[in-house]
C-alpha cells in the first residue's frame, strides 16, 4: 500500500539524535490531530526504538547509521527504525519485560513501545541489524481531511 505522506531520516548513532528523532516524528504526527497525550507517548516509543539502535545495535559507535521513516497510511501512522548493527541474539527473550542487556534500562524500551503503540513488530538478524516497526491508529477525524486533500 502506498503511503499518503512520509518522511525519512538518516543520522549517525549518537545520543543527541534521540531527541532529534522523536521531535521530528512528533512534528510529523502533530499534523494528524492526535491528542497531546498520544503525541507524548509516540515520542517515548520513538525514543526507545532509537535508543535501542544506538545503545544495543551500534554499541554507541557513531559510525553506525540509524534510519527512521514515518509514514501516513489510510488507517495508521507507521514508524520504522532500522539499524545495521549487531542484532539481537535472542529476540523472544529481549521482548520479554525485564530483559535487556543494559541492567539499568530494565528492558523497559520494548515495554513502552508495546504499551504506547497499537502494533509492534521486531525483526533482527545477528550482525545484520534490527528493524522495529510500530503502528498507531489514526484519530478518526483525521482520515476525512487527508483523503479529501489527496
Partner 1 sequence: MNLEIKKMGDTLLVKIFGDFDLELADHCRREIDRNYEKEAVKNILFDLTGISFIDSSGLGVILGRYRKVKENEGNVVIASGDSRIIKLLNLSGITRLIPVYPNTAQALKYLAGKVM
Instruction: List interacting residues with partner 1 (CB under 8 A).
Output: 15-16, 18-19, 22, 37, 40, 43-44, 47-48, 51, 54-55, 102-106, 108-109, 111-112, 115
Q: Which is nearer to partner 1, 16 or 148 (CB)?
A: 16
Q: Which is nearer to partner 1, 32 or 45 (CB)?
A: 45
Three cell numbers, residue 49: 526504538
In the complex, minimum distance from the CB of residue 117 to partner 1, in angstroms, rounded to a whole number? 14
Distance CA 71, CA 53 (A): 19
Under 8 Å between Cβ of 57 and 85: yes
In the complex, minimum distance from the CB of residue 12 to partner 1, in angstroms, rounded to a whole number? 13
In the complex, minimum distance from the CB of residue 127 to partner 1, in angstroms, rounded to a whole number? 23
Angle among Cα 117, 136, 79 to the nearest 5 degrees reads: 90
Distance CA 23, CA 47 (A): 9
Under 8 Å between Cβ of 80 and 48: no
Looking at the annotation, which residues are catalytic?
48, 52, 105
Amino acid at each position: 500500500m502506498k503511503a499518503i505522506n512520509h518522511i525519512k531520516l538518516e543520522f549517525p548513532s549518537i545520543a543527541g539524535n534521540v531527541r532529534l528523532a522523536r521531535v521530528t516524528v512528533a512534528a510529523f504526527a502533530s499534523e494528524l490531530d492526535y491528542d497531546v497525550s498520544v503525541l507524548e507517548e509516540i515520542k517515548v516509543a520513538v525514543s526507545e526504538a532509537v535508543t535501542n539502535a544506538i545503545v544495543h545495535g551500534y554499541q554507541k559507535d557513531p559510525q553506525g547509521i540509524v534510519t527512521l521513516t514515518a509514514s501516513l497510511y489510510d488507517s495508521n501512522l507507521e514508524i520504522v527504525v532500522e539499524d545495521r548493527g549487531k542484532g539481537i541474539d535472542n529476540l523472544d527473550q529481549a521482548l520479554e519485560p525485564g530483559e535487556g542487556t543494559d541492567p539499568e534500562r530494565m528492558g523497559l524500551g520494548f515495554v513502552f513501545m508495546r504499551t504506547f503503540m497499537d502494533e509492534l513488530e521486531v525483526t533482527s538478524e545477528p550482525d545484520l541489524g534490527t528493524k522495529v516497526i510500530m503502528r498507531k491508529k489514526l484519530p478518526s477525524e483525521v482520515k476525512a481531511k487527508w483523503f479529501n486533500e489527496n
